[in-house]
Amino acid sequence: MASFEEQTIKNIFCEVLCIPAEEITDTLAYNSCVQWDSLKHLQIVAMIEEKFEIEIDMDDIIAMENYGKVKEILHKYLT
Amino acid sequence: MNFVDYLFENVPNLYKECILSRDGTLTYGDLIERVDALAGDLAIKLGQGNECLLLAENTPFFIIVYLAVIKSGNTALLVETRIADDQLATIFRECHIRCAFVQKKYLAKIPDTCTIFTEDNLPTPSPSKTIEFSSVKDDDVAVVIFTSGSTGTKKGVMLTHRNLCANTGSIVQYLGLTKEDRICATLPFFYCYGASLLHTHLRVGGSIVLSNNIFLAGALRDINTYACTGFAGVPSTYQILVNKTPFLKEPLPTLRLMQQAGGQLPNKYIRQIAEAFPEKHFFVMYGATEATARLSYLSSGEIHTRLGSIGKGIPGVTLEVIDEKGNPVKPGETGEIVASGANIMKGYYGDPEGTQSVIRNGKLFTGDLATVDEDGYIFIIGRAKNIIKSGGYRISPNEIEEFICSLDGVAGCVVLGLPDEIMGEAIVAVIQPGNTPETISKEEIHQHCTKHLPSYKVPTAIHFVKEFPLNASDKVDKQAITASLLSSKQKKEEGG
């Protein structure tokens, strides 16, 4: 298991959603971000799991509805 | 008869919950009041026979606007929320859109040349006003659904009030839906299959749960939270549920039936689901936007004996598999699936030639190749139309091929859909580089694609080849490329 590193998470978001890093703030949310759909979400989760060598619980995958929440949840796994 | 009047013929009582979501509940009374108010407003301001574009996710806003536009005798133009800007621009150029109803989050997509309404500025009901709606003809177009054609341009499928009533009635009948039914809806209503869920459950006085979750597992929760009796998905829906969630181990006690359509779900998944839920009904179905939604079904009792079949025609639809001379094929022979019934579309919007190419003598030529067994059950063996079905989207390879070919350093490109555990089909690009292969890398091609194509059209894998194999008519042999990719994938899996 790797340690928590925000830049890695941000890079995954940039790559999957194709948006610049400065747009990725804690309030970036599934509900309002046009690029972030359920298929992209699966891709984000798969890449995070691979990069950090973790397996995220289903309830957490559902709860990761904004970037701030994603970081908060990943802290739980990586610290 | 106006399709909306048909839908509301069996309202059990006005206090019954109709639309449920995390954001609240609309009773039948609430929904009818809001639909009537907006329809009245549209009838006064626009009159009848106008086109209104609707761009929204599954929300009460979508449902109210959709029904109000149809009720007012106007036509609802449905487009997918992820539509590419240039395709939307084409629709605006070629259609006569009087006003657009757009969910706020998608406002940036809409040109400001027409009147725009969002969820914030819809007219509110005024109790004193009663409006007499002029009647519509059964052949008037109620809805235009824009779907991907094989050439990459969107085709507008024109559905009449008659088409919609016929298909809705037929689906209600074979699924045995009643007012007790409550569907967990994850499929978008701008897609004919999603719309059919809305239609059928309104028609029987049932209810619809808007299950808009970041991850499909949320739908399993919604089924339990809202005590849903029904669920519907395309192949990728079930593949994600089986592979990524505890779906097969969930008891889901309230669930009575599951529907699957929108492409062929591999048999192993059908078997797994049928075995995991022996007491629930699992319907495998087949359809087309050009047929309003549904054309055939295989009931759960037949799943094991006719595994892989799309069943037989739904009530009111004649489904045949015919050979090149127009005669029904014998068991084991291959032919094209042809359908007739009151659900067959009026035609493609602004495209009489396109319409004539698929509707001849009142019959819809689906382009799907199939065979029949001794008892008349139909088995699809290939799609004549060049369409990839990935993640619930219908994607034309031509459009992606054209884009990649336009890049410097690319000599040729073939885009294929390969079987994928999650997406149904994964988009794979096979590229023949120009004379100097080093001028463009796979990464660069991928970057160009992500920048210029909607995300669901971006290839998940890119391969370089020196030469494409050709078939007998000197065309690039897509089947040979597919076979070689599949065999190298298999070797890789066996080796690793």
The answer to whether position A1 is within a domain reads no
Report the distance separating Cα B445 and Cα B408, nearest Å: 10
Mean pLDDT over all residues of chain B? 91
| Proportion of chain B above pLDDT 70, given as a percent | 95
Q: Do B214 and A32 touch (CB under 8 A)?
A: no
Best mutation target, A42, A49, A64, A65, to test chain B (most B CBs within 10 A): A42
Let me know whether B405 and B343 are in one domain: no
pLDDT band of residue B104 (cuts 50, 70, 90) is: very high
What ipTM score was computed for the predicted complex, to two decimals? 0.81
Q: B141-168 as b/e, with b when 16 or more CB fall inside 10 Å?
A: bbbbbbbbbbebbbbbbbbbbbbbbbbb
For residue A62, the enclosing domain spans 6-78
- The residue written with tokens 């004193």 in the block is B128
B102 bridge partner residues: B55
Final residue in a domain of this structure, among B320, B344, B372: B372
Within 8 A by CB and 6+ apart from B165, the residues are: B1, B3, B6, B138, B342
CATH number at residue B184: 3.40.50.12780
Q: Is residue B438 predicted with pLDDT exceeding 80?
A: no
Q: Do A62 and B214 touch (CB under 8 A)?
A: yes
| Proportion of chain B above pLDDT 90, given as a percent | 64
Give chain A positions within 8 Å (CB) of B222.
none
Mean pLDDT of B356-360: 95
Question: What are B245-302's pLDDT values in tens digits?
Answer: 899 999 999 999 999 998 888 888 999 999 999 999 999 999 999 999 999 999 989 9
Q: Where are the alpha helices (DSSP H) in B290-395?
A: 352-358
Give chain B positions within 8 Å (CB) of A62.
213-215, 217-218, 221
The answer to whether position B377 is within a domain reads no
The answer to whether position B380 is within a domain reads no
For residue B468, the enclosing domain spans 388-495
Give chain A positions within 8 Å (CB) of B423.
39
Q: Is residue B378 predicted with pLDDT exceeding 60?
A: yes
Give chain B positions within 8 Å (CB) of A37.
82, 455
Let me know whether B310 and B358 are in one domain: yes
In this complex, is the C-beta atom of A58 within 8 Å of any C-beta atom belonging to chain B? Answer: yes
Tell me the residue type at A48.
I
* Spatial contact of B187 and B316, defined as CB atoms under 8 Å apart: no
- How many beta-carbon contacts under 8 Å exist across A and B? 44
Let me know whether B215 and B341 are in one domain: yes
Let me know whether B224 and B284 are in one domain: yes
Residue A9 to chain B, least CA–CA distance (Å) = 18
Best mutation target, A35, A39, A47, A69, to test chain B (most B CBs within 10 A): A39
B184 bridge partner residues: B209, B231
Residue A2 to chain B, least CA–CA distance (Å) = 23
Give chain A positions within 8 Å (CB) of B245.
58
- The total of structural domains in chain A comes to 1
Q: A53-77 as b/e, with b when 16 or more CB fall inside 10 Å?
A: eeebeeebbbbbbbbeebbebbeeb
CATH number at residue B447: 3.30.300.30
Question: What are A6-56's pLDDT values in tens digits?
Answer: 999 999 999 888 889 999 999 999 988 888 988 789 889 988 998 999 999
pLDDT band of residue B175 (cuts 50, 70, 90) is: very high
